[in-house]
């Protein structure tokens, strides 16, 4: 027996709910209309949402890794984060900041940090909800908290994270950042505001708009976009033009047919393994080249 069909309109409604102005009640009403019944909508919701119960690709107790929850100095207070590196590390390694989506530091992002550590990086996944007490277990609550974030404070905490990881005894002093969705937008923001950032990889992230800001970027950039992501893709051409005008080093990849959040393997309806694997291979090679 096959499950209900997921349409583009349903995915767009979920994107409107999680990123724009639609509240949960409005989303469920819209999804019910699209699905044909409340029962069908109830089945579809977990297919659209991220399911943290799905198995991690790298177990949290993998003996090849050393992982710990840490606290470190932010711009105006303590930041929390998840630091992971190879257990047999004997020398200094390139460092990568792994920046979460608009659900905070959840099990999936911790898993992604472990994947980077297995590739030979020191990986730090910060919790940018730290000023509000940290990421809650309830993802809807986390989404509400994002609406209360102070943009300047968030940027400053990101810059402080770069400085912390650059000076960390495990790091070779070269720091890159990888971010997804909200985190992809923050990677672009950090590229503007953190001159010590050596490389940035933004997955379907919002772009800076001001050419003067873009001219300040020093990091090499790799930008991944989903083919079916009109909201974010609307900013690609202007960003490319500004980067080219300023003589910046960057690469842009658009994955035809892929949905926003195609890298998130906990989201059944939007995960695209082919696109995710291709983008991951490109990302790891790029970071090794720029940070090694």
Residue 145 CB neighbour total at 10 angstroms: 21
| Segment 108-113 mean pLDDT | 96
pTM of the model: 0.87
| Segment 103-115 mean pLDDT | 96
Percent of the chain with pLDDT over 90: 75
What are the start-end ranges of the H helices in the chain?
8-19, 24-35, 38-48, 107-118, 139-146, 151-167, 182-193, 211-214, 230-233, 236-245, 273-291
Give the tens place of pLDDT for each residue, 242-259: 999 999 999 999 999 999
Least reliable range by pLDDT among 25-34, 191-200, 218-227, 249-258: 25-34
Q: Clarify whether 181 is annotated catalytic.
A: yes
| Segment 102-112 mean pLDDT | 95
Topology given in CATH for the domain delimited by 65-291: Rossmann fold (3.40.50)
| Segment 85-104 mean pLDDT | 96
**Catalytic: which of 15, 111, 181, 224?**
181
Longest distance between any two alpha carbons in the chain, whole Å: 58
Question: Are the C-beta atoms of residues 79 and 73 closer than 8 Å to each other?
Answer: yes
Distance CA 202, CA 86 (A): 24
User: Hey, which of 5-14, 20-29, 125-134 has the most confident mean pLDDT?
Assistant: 125-134
Percent of the chain with pLDDT over 70: 95
Per-domain residue ranges of the chain: 8-48, 65-291
| Segment 155-165 mean pLDDT | 98
**Catalytic: which of 12, 111, 127, 229?**
229
User: What is the Cα Rg of the chain in Å?
Assistant: 19
Give the tens place of pLDDT for each residue, 118-149: 999 999 999 999 999 999 998 889 988 999 99
Give the tens place of pLDDT for each residue, 255-290: 999 999 999 998 877 899 999 999 999 999 999 999
Residue 292 CB neighbour total at 10 angstroms: 11
Give the pLDDT band of residue 35 (cuts 50, 70, 90): confident
Inform me whether the pLDDT recorded for 2 exceeds 70: no
pLDDT reported for residue 54: 62
Give the pLDDT band of residue 1 (cuts 50, 70, 90): very low
Q: Clarify whether 60 is annotated catalytic.
A: no
**Catalytic: which of 12, 127, 260, 265?**
260
pLDDT reported for residue 98: 98
| Segment 31-50 mean pLDDT | 75
């Amino acid at each position: 027996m096959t499950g209900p069909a997921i349409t583009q309109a349903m995915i767009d409604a979920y994107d409107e709910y999680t990123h724009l102005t639609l509240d949960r009640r409005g989303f469920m009403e819209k999804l019910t209309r699209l699905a044909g019944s409340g029962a069908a909508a109830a089945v579809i919701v977990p297919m659209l949402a991220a399911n943290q119960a799905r198995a991690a690709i790298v177990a949290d107790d993998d003996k090849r890794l050393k992982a710990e929850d840490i606290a470190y100095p932010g711009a105006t207070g303590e930041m929390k984060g998840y630091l992971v590196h190879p257990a047999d590390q004997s020398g200094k390694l390139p460092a990568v900041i792994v920046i979460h989506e608009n659900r905070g530091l959840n099990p999936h992002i911790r898993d992604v940090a472990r994947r980077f550590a297995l590739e030979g990086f020191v990986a730090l996944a910060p919790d940018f909800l730290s000023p509000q007490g940290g990421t809650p277990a309830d993802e809807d609550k986390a989404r509400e908290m994002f609406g209360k974030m102070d943009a300047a404070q968030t940027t400053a905490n990101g810059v402080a994270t770069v400085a912390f990881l650059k000076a960390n005894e495990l790091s070779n002093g070269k720091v890159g950042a990888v971010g997804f969705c909200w985190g992809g937008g923050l990677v672009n923001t950090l590229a503007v505001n953190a001159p010590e950032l050596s490389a940035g990889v933004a997955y379907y992230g919002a772009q800076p708009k001001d050419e003067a800001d873009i001219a300040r970027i020093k990091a090499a950039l790799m930008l991944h976009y989903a083919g079916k992501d009109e909201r974010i893709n609307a900013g690609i051409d202007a960003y490319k033009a500004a980067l080219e005008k300023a003589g910046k080093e960057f690469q842009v990849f658009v994955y035809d047919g892929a949905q926003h959040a195609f890298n998130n393997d906990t989201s059944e309806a939007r995960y695209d393994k082919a696109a995710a694997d291709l983008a991951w291979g490109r990302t790891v090679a790029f970071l090794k080249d720029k940070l090694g």
